[in-house]
Structures are given as C-alpha cells and as structure tokens.
Structure 1
C-alpha cells in the first residue's frame, strides 16, 4: 500500500474525529483536508516514533483546536432556552451556528464501534466544553490515549490533563444522557416502530403518532429556535405542520435512525424538506431533530428532488 492509500484509509475516522470537535460535517471535511495538507508538507519530519494513524490524529486535533479559536460552538435549539408553546409562533435563528448530523455512510464500520460517541445528544453536549477540555475528553475517553500522550500533544502536564478530564466528564454527565438511559427497542420492535412512524407521518395519522411518541418526547428543528417538549405540544405542532403530500425515505445519522422528508410542490415533484434524526426509547420515539436544510440531503445519498 502506498502512502496516499494509507492516508485515504483513515479519512472516514478522521472526519468523525473532527466532527466531534466541530459539530459540522462540512467543517470536519475541511479540517481533514487541512490535516492531509499539513501531513504531506511535514512528511519529512515524521520520525515514525508513533504510527501514521496516531500522527494524523495529532495533526487533526491541532487543526480543530485552531479552528475553534476563530469560531463559536454549534448549538441545538434546546440549548437556547425553554420550549415553545405555540406552533404558530416560531422564531428563526438564521445567524446561529447549528449542529449538523453525521452521515453514517461516510464510514459504516466506524459507527459500529463509535456509535455512543457520535450520537447527536453526545456531540451536542461536547459543544459546551471549552476546546481544550473537549480535546482531552475525546482523546482520553474516545480514542483511549494515555494521559502522557495527551499531555505531550497539548504541551501541558499530566496533572492538568487529569484535572481537565474530570471537569469535562462532570459537565458531560450533566448534559448528555448516560448509556443506560438509551434503552432502545430490540428487533423486530425497532423495525416495526420505524415503519409505523414513517407511515403515520406520511398519512398525517395523529392518533397513530400519539401512540408512537413517548410522553416526554422532544421535537427540535434548526434553524428554527423554537422547540417543543411533551407529547401534547409535539402533536399540536404536527397538527399544523402535516399538510399536503409528503414522503419519508429512510437513512441513518449519528448511529441513529433517520428519514429524509420530502414534500410535493406545485411542479408535481417531491422536494427535500428536512432531515429527521430519531432517538428511540423502549416506549417509542423520544426525540426528533428535524434539520430544515435541503443541502444536507446529498451527504446522505438523497437527491434534493425526487420525481
């Protein structure tokens, strides 16, 4: 295998690594491109004291920390305030830097081993950590680097790394759900739930949706700042939203089930409307993040317009 092929084999996992830092696939791809440029330029200085993979991760981490010096964190609507109560009164945050979903198809094998660290709730929680704490937590708890390796990369002490890790874990525990709370239905209940949910949305069957949503379900839809919590509030929202003809196409994001939502317009064709990423619990659908961005569809292999 030549060096170019060796570089290429790590692209998917490096994009995922940068995505955890930056909360955007587009920003992560740019960061990996910069990582490869720096690696090619510095190849003569690569002394093989570590593996090529570790060396690339070191470069990518530095690139991400540099990006974070000049950009604000990526947010989800629920991070901005209390839930809304009126589905007719929506506030748009067009200037806000919103979290983006991660297409599982970029590296399907990666999702199997790193699913928990790529879940939307986890990445959203990571965005609240200061950049260096974010780096410490990702390097120690996701990549399983030794404390001494992290200290060397960040040019600090082992004590400082351990202190940062402790604070980062505490903040993450406050913001992100623990693994035990993510008790998803097993197969075939998982498959049946997704099929029933897609059909209910396509047919605007609110009675069926009431049975499929958990009591504490949350519905968010960036770039809309207004979000809704609780089955009654979400059903009120859907009663307003579910007009006209729509089709759902299944995909997956962040190791979670997802759907591309298409709506029929005046030209008779189905146009990309939003990308829905679902969180499932034993009692049904417990959260929906509906990204109202047609430009995300190609990342998931979905066309912006369907005949």
Structure 2
C-alpha cells in the first residue's frame, strides 16, 4: 500500500487546520505512522487509501486542536494603530498564524491557502473547519466526510452551511492574482528595488490607499498608505539602508525575505514578508519575524555578498 505519495497534500491539509507549519509536519508524520501500524486493518472495499488517510489525519488534527485558542493575525485582534512610532513589543503569549512555505509541496495542493483565508478559517470550530476544507477545497463527498468524522451526512451539510455563513460575516481576501502573474512579478520587483533603495515615496506609490501592514508577533498593525509609509521610514531610520531582498512564495502569494545590513558588512535575515497584490498594487503585507518561520522556509540567516539574489 503506497501512502508516501499523499505526504504533500496531507501537509497542506494539516496546515489549513492548524495554521502553523511545523506542527502540521508533525501531524503528517503521526498520520503516516498510524497508517503504517494499522495497514492490516485497512479495507479497500470500504474506502480509498486517500479517504482513509484523511480520516486518520483529521482525527489527529482534531485531537491536537482540543482546548487551543485560534491562531490570529494582528488585524484579527482589534483596530489598526494610528501611531507609526508605537513600541514594537512582541506578544509572545499569542499563538500567531504562520505562513506556509510553497516549496515544501506541489503547486496542485496549494489551492485556497492564502493567508487571509487561513486566518478567517481560524474563527471556525475545528470540526466545522475540517468539514469546510474536506468538502470545499479537497472536494470529498458528504458521505466520505461523514465517515471521516464519524458523523452523519445531514450533520456534515449543516456544519458546512454554518462554516460558510461564518466566513461570509468575517470576509476574506477573495480571489487574488497568482505570484507568477507577470503584473504581480513586476509589482514585487518594483517593491524590492524601492525597499533596497530605502525609497519610501516609491514604496508608497506601489500601495493601495487602504493597504494593510502587520507584523506578528507584534500585535499592532497599520492601515492606509500614509501610516504604512511613515512606519517604513521609521524602519530605515532604525536599521539603516542598503537592505538585500530574496524572492520566494508563501501560501500561493509572492513573498520577500528581507536582509538588514550589518555594521561590519554583509546582511542578516530580518523578516519574511508575504504580499497580496490587487489591481497592480500591494494591498496587504504580513511581515513575519519568528525564527521558526525562517527555519520552515530554509532561509540562510546571513548573506555575505550584497549581490546575492537567489530567486530574483
């Protein structure tokens, strides 16, 4: 029985459920181990291998989520800040949502993984979250999902309706352009050049009027190109100019790894920035500074040469 081929899609599924990559990896490993130990009990007449594996993974996720708080982004916790000079104090007690490194799985299994949607799904109770992903993203039938969750088809349909209604109230990013879209690539390249040049006016010109900037684990966030620009001016005043950037993707969105200049030369990894580009402009930038995020993306912590531009 071949189960390793399902690793990537199970990883994406567990991430959607948990909102954190390294725990999703652990649960996929647990799923595979459980499946291997129970392989003699598998009955192909009752379910496909894929359906069986998702049942194991779902149970593992629901167990892991028992008693846990949702994983938010700062914009999900309160109103935007109107003080670009506010203290940047991390809230390490909050289990923040983390991004997904696209390079860890095939493009085909990364549908509906944009950060705004995963963040919105965090408001759902775990079983509703599972129903929504299994039915709407993975396209399992209602009877299959009922079997995976040990419930009935009417219960699955009811949970799906409640999940849809809850997400409609919260809203999400809707359809966004793919990171390999030529217009998106051009916008990100212009943003990259402006950032490396510490050109705040050029950065602001690339933003929508209501652009959002947020920086977990710092709980404050900003909305509007004016405050975005004022905060970026503060960043360059604090950390200097001459940054170096590296292109990649996360959650099916364009992303940049930002390396701050070191006093003695070279650059040190500072943040991973995940962008939403709409209408040819940056409408949202989620900036991550958690070392565990850097590890998940396998990013070098230092660059010894200013001309290092892998992925550009």
With the length of structure 1 as denominator, give the TM-score of the two structures. Answer: 0.92
Partner residue in 2 for 1:192: 186
Write the distance in 2 (CA, Å) between the matches of 1:118 and 1:186: 16
Contact 1:184 1:282 in 2 (8 A): no
What is the count of residue pairs matched by the alignment?
299
- In structure 1, the gaps of 5 or more residues are none
Give, in angstroms, the shift of residue 220 of structure 1: 0.5
Q: Which one of 73, 89, 92 corresponds to residue 90 of structure 2?
A: 92
- In structure 2, the gaps of 5 or more residues are 305-312
Write the distance in 2 (CA, Å) between the matches of 1:187 and 1:71: 37
Contact 1:15 1:28 in 2 (8 A): yes
Partner residue in 2 for 1:79: 76
Give, in angstroms, the shift of residue 145 of structure 1: 1.3
Confirm or deny that 1:57 pairs with 2:54. Answer: yes
Secondary structure in 1 matching 2:79:
coil
Give, in angstroms, the shift of residue 158 of structure 1: 1.8
Q: Which one of 152, 156, 161 corresponds to residue 151 of structure 2?
A: 156
Q: Which shows bigger deviation, 71-80 or 270-279?
A: 71-80
Write the distance in 2 (CA, Å) between the matches of 1:157 and 1:96: 35
Q: Which one of 119, 123, 141 corresponds to residue 114 of structure 2?
A: 119
Classify 1:33/1:51 alpha carbon distance in 2 versus 1 (closer, same or farther; 3 Å).
same
Q: Which one of 211, 218, 230 corresponds to residue 224 of structure 1?
A: 218
Partner residue in 2 for 1:210: 204
Write the distance in 2 (CA, Å) between the matches of 1:294 and 1:269: 19
Secondary structure in 1 matching 2:3:
helix
Give, in angstroms, the shift of residue 96 of structure 1: 0.5
Deviation sequence 1:224-251 (CA, Å, 0-9, x none): 0000001111111111012313111000
Contact 1:259 1:277 in 2 (8 A): yes
Write the distance in 2 (CA, Å) between the matches of 1:185 and 1:32: 27
Write the distance in 2 (CA, Å) between the matches of 1:253 and 1:7: 26
Give, in angstroms, the shift of residue 148 of structure 1: 1.5
Confirm or deny that 1:305 pairs with 2:299. Answer: no
Q: Which one of 158, 171, 174 corresponds to residue 176 of structure 1?
A: 171
